[in-house]
Structure formats: C-alpha cells, structure tokens
Amino acid sequence: MQHGHADGPIGIRVFDDGHQIAVEIRNRGVIPPELVPVLFDPFRGRDHSPSRTNARGLGLGLYIAQQIAQAHGGTVSVLSSDETDTVFTLRLPRVSPEPTRADRPARGHTVLIADDDEATRESLREAFAGEGYATMTATNGRDALDQLLHARVKPDLVILDLVMPLLEGGQVYQAMQAVPELARIPVIVSTSDPARAPAGTILIPKPVKLGRLLDTAARLVRSP
C-alpha cells in the first residue's frame, strides 16, 4: 500500500507448493534493480534525515520478516520487473511437530558440508553421518561449487559457511541460483552476523545448536 502504485490493485494468493505453503503478494510498480540484492539487509539505504526516517521507517521490516520466515524453516523472496510487477513470496514448510529420530528421513539423503574449519566440518560430518545421511565435504567455496556442478548425484541439502577462501559462501549460493538443478537445493547457512545471510537461505545463528541444525535439516528433506 505504501510503495505500490496508488491506483493499482494488491493481489494476495495462497497456494500449495509441494511440501510448502506459499503466500504471494503482488502489487504494481518496480523496485530499482540496484536495490533488489540488498532489499532484505537491515538499515538498507537509510536516510538519517528525520522526515524521511519517520516516513519510511528504519529499513528493518523486510529483514525482520525474513528472519521470522527462516526461523520457521521458510524463505522470503522477491521478483520485480516491468513484466512481473513486484511479487514477494513467503514459503513455509508443511510440517507436523518436530520430528523424532525415528521420523527423520535421513537414509537415502545426501548433505554437502562446506566449511574451511576442519574441526567444525568433521564434527558436522560425524553428526549427519550418525543420523544416516551420506555426506560430502568441501574445504572452500570453490571446492563446494565444483562438487555441486560435477557430482553425479546432487546433494539434497547444503550446509554452507559464509566466510571461506577462494569463494565465499554468498558467492557459492549466487552461483547455485543460476543453475536450475542447484537452485532447488535448500541451503542452511550459519553466521554470527545475520545480515550477511543471502536472501533465500535458511539461517541458523552461531553458536550453532546441533540439535536445531539436525531438526531443520530433517524438515527440509522429509518430503520428496
């Protein structure tokens, strides 16, 4: 209502998206292309003049919405162009209460763990292997992307560290989004700075609680 064309309709659609429920909100108007990559960043483009700050807020609304969605294992994304107008889509997993160990569909699923810290990488590998996952590991971003592009069997889930040599985690995620086969793979990132998490990933803040990570992974892979 605030940012769309005053004379344009606002459309809201709720639909079944496989193992997710999606809520799509569409209005007329186009977000400037240079703003889209940072749209979910906190305090983006903040103008400190009192009149503009009071009128437009602090730039935290979309950031908070994204964090709430991610806390539920979901995502918020945006498309904006002359062809599509502006469309925000919230996706939330269609799940029952927290799965028990017996309910977790780990066996037959593969996880790629990309982290340059050996202790963290091996701890996660052992934890996921103990849950029945097949595991792949990468020591840097380039190694992770090479495996994603060339592995005969693609992983069902990626655990991605954001700060890695050669390619950072955000660059790996951007490259994945350019390949349809990889763009469908859910990505969990862990960081102590939530603002660094790319839009579309599932955020688990550091320090990581292993049980929460395993439960989140289980929810993401439990449906075909």
Residues 6 or more apart whose CB falls under 8 angstroms from that of 119 comprise none
Residues 105, 163: contact at Cβ < 8 Å? no
Average pLDDT on 182-201 reads: 86
Going by the DSSP 8-state scheme, the letter that residue 103 receives in this structure is G
Q: Classify the phi-psi angles of 69: left when phi > 0, otherwise alpha if psi is within -120 to 50, otherwise beta.
A: alpha
| H-helix segments, 99-161 | 118-130, 141-150
Average pLDDT on 9-24 reads: 89
Q: Decide which of 170 and 4 is more confident.
A: 170
Q: How confident is the model at residue 72 (pLDDT cuts 50, 70, 90)?
A: confident
What pLDDT score was predicted for residue 104?
52
Residue 48 pLDDT greater than 70, yes or no:
no
What pLDDT score was predicted for residue 224?
53
Nearest to 75 by CA among 21, 30, 36, 136: 21
What pLDDT score was predicted for residue 102?
42
Task: Please state whether the predicted TM-score (pTM) of the whole model is above 0.75.
Answer: no
Distance (Å, whole) CA 200 – CA 37: 11
DSSP string across 167-221: S-HHHHHHHHHTSHHHHTS-EEEEES-GGGSPTTSEEEESSP-HHHHHHHHHHHH
Tens digit of each residue's pLDDT (9 = 90 or more) over 73-117: 889 999 999 888 999 999 998 765 454 444 555 568 999 999 998
What pLDDT score was predicted for residue 55?
40
Average pLDDT on 52-57 reads: 44
Average pLDDT on 133-147 reads: 95
Average pLDDT along the chain: 84
User: Which of 5-9, 153-157, 179-183 has the weakest average pLDDT?
Assistant: 5-9
Residues 88, 118: contact at Cβ < 8 Å? no
